[in-house]
Amino acid sequence: MSTLLIIEQVLNGLQFGVMLFLMAAGLTLIFGVMGLINLAHGSLYMIGAFAAAAVAGATGSFVLALGAALAVAAIAGALIEMTVIRRLYGKAHLDQVLATFALILIFSEGTRWLFGSFPLFLDISDYLSGPVTLPGGIQYPLYRLTLIAVGLLVGLGLWLLIERTRIGIQIRAGENDREMIAALGVDIRLLYTLVFAIGAALAGLAGALVGAIQSVQVGMGEPVLILAFVVIVIGGIGSIKGAFIGALLVGLTDTLGGIFLPELFKLFMEPGAATQTGSALASMAIYILMSLVLIWRPTGLFGARA
């Protein structure tokens, strides 16, 4: 196995990781600030992808499509926060899971009703398509490099927002003591809607970005949602930094595990069986990673709560 292949796979793992981060950041913010388990986060991812596909189909512009994905997902997020989620803050986690699961069904069937069951077409624009040659002679798709860059920029932006702005201070304060910051005169309801909308917009952006290289279809969000939960558990619930590190760890483990485990098994098994066993074990790799992290640090890498 050549070094070039390994570098390319590391890039693939990074790209997968930063896209997971976009999903996990919103999820962990919402859980950290509001104490809410939002299963419908995957639906917002799907909404972003469909909004992008619809706008790209109508206008042909990929940039407009991304804008639409951000806007539509943020609006959808704000709307469900005000109509449904707001009633769930005081409730037990089981009620939240039930209600947000209902939202998944509503959004999935609603999208099917609007767009039909067949996958939609969302193509990347010409200036981002095709491979580029990196130093060392690696050919790598430009679009995937762009995804890595966008993911890192969003991560940086989010860090600046949380650490360096007034809203960030309020969000962090809300995480620690919501009664106190309400008593200090911060409109906590507005803050919650805002946080929810930011989380939703990030999910929608991830959906649109990934939808361009995969298929835009109903139910596309749920598999990613499961991974995003794994990420925030590894990273520590409520921590953006944890979500970032966790996402990269999961992305790299999943990608590299899928390549190296079958190779490893080939050393002492016949190739056909080695590929099957290796791929089966590779699909478990991230869950094994999660258990190891939890044994070592029960609250996750950067988790504060016990």
Q: Where are the beta strands (DSSP E) in 162-306?
A: none
Q: Give 138's strand partners.
A: 134
**Least distance between other proteins and beta carbon 227 (Å):** 11
**Least distance between other proteins and beta carbon 54 (Å):** 14
Coil vs helix vs strand at 254: helix
Q: What is the dihedral of CA 53, 56, 57, 59, to 10 degrees?
A: 150
Q: Rounded to an integer, what is the distance from CA 49 to the centroid of its chain?
A: 13
Residue 205's closest CA among 14, 63, 1? 63
Distance, in Å, from the CA atom of 20 to the CA atom of 163, rounded to the nearest integer, reads: 22
Burial (CB count <10 Å: 0-12, 13-18, 19+), residue 281: middle
Among 82, 123, 146, 241, binds other proteins (CB under 8 A): 123
Distance, in Å, from the CA atom of 293 to the CA atom of 271, rounded to the nearest integer, reads: 32
Residue 144's closest CA among 124, 163, 167? 124
Q: Give 131's strand partners.
A: 141
Helices 142-164, 3-34: crossing angle, 10 deg rounding: 30
146 binds other proteins (CB under 8 A): no
150 binds other proteins (CB under 8 A): no
194 binds other proteins (CB under 8 A): no
Between residue 237 and residue 266, which ones bind other proteins under the rule CB under 8 A? Answer: 255, 258-259, 262
Among 183, 276, 297, 305, binds other proteins (CB under 8 A): 276
**Least distance between other proteins and beta carbon 264 (Å):** 15
Identify whether the C-beta of residue 302 lies closer than 8 Å to the C-beta of residue 294. no
Coil vs helix vs strand at 305: coil
271 binds other proteins (CB under 8 A): yes
Structure tokens at 290: 């999660």
Structure tokens at 166: 């007034």
35 binds other proteins (CB under 8 A): no
4 binds other proteins (CB under 8 A): yes
Q: For residues 129 and 299, which CB has a smaller minimum distance to other proteins in the complex?
A: 129
Count residues near other proteins (CB under 8 A).
Answer: 48
Among 91, 102, 110, 139, binds other proteins (CB under 8 A): 139
**Least distance between other proteins and beta carbon 8 (Å):** 4
207 binds other proteins (CB under 8 A): no
Q: Which long-range contacts (CB under 8 A, 24 or more apart) does 159-163 make?
A: 159/240, 159/241, 162/240
**Least distance between other proteins and beta carbon 160 (Å):** 29
Coil vs helix vs strand at 216: strand
Among 216, 228, 234, 289, binds other proteins (CB under 8 A): 216
Q: For residues 126 and 179, which CB has a smaller minimum distance to other proteins in the complex?
A: 126
Q: Which stretch binds other proteins (CB under 8 A): 9-17, 74-82, 175-183, 297-305?
A: 9-17
1 binds other proteins (CB under 8 A): yes
Q: Give 120's strand partners.
A: 216
Among 93, 98, 101, 130, binds other proteins (CB under 8 A): 130
176 binds other proteins (CB under 8 A): no
**Least distance between other proteins and beta carbon 261 (Å):** 11
Contact set with other proteins (CB under 8 A) = 1-2, 4-5, 8-9, 12, 15-16, 108-109, 112, 117-121, 123-124, 129-131, 139, 141, 143-144, 210, 212-220, 223, 255, 258-259, 262, 271-272, 275-276, 279-280, 283
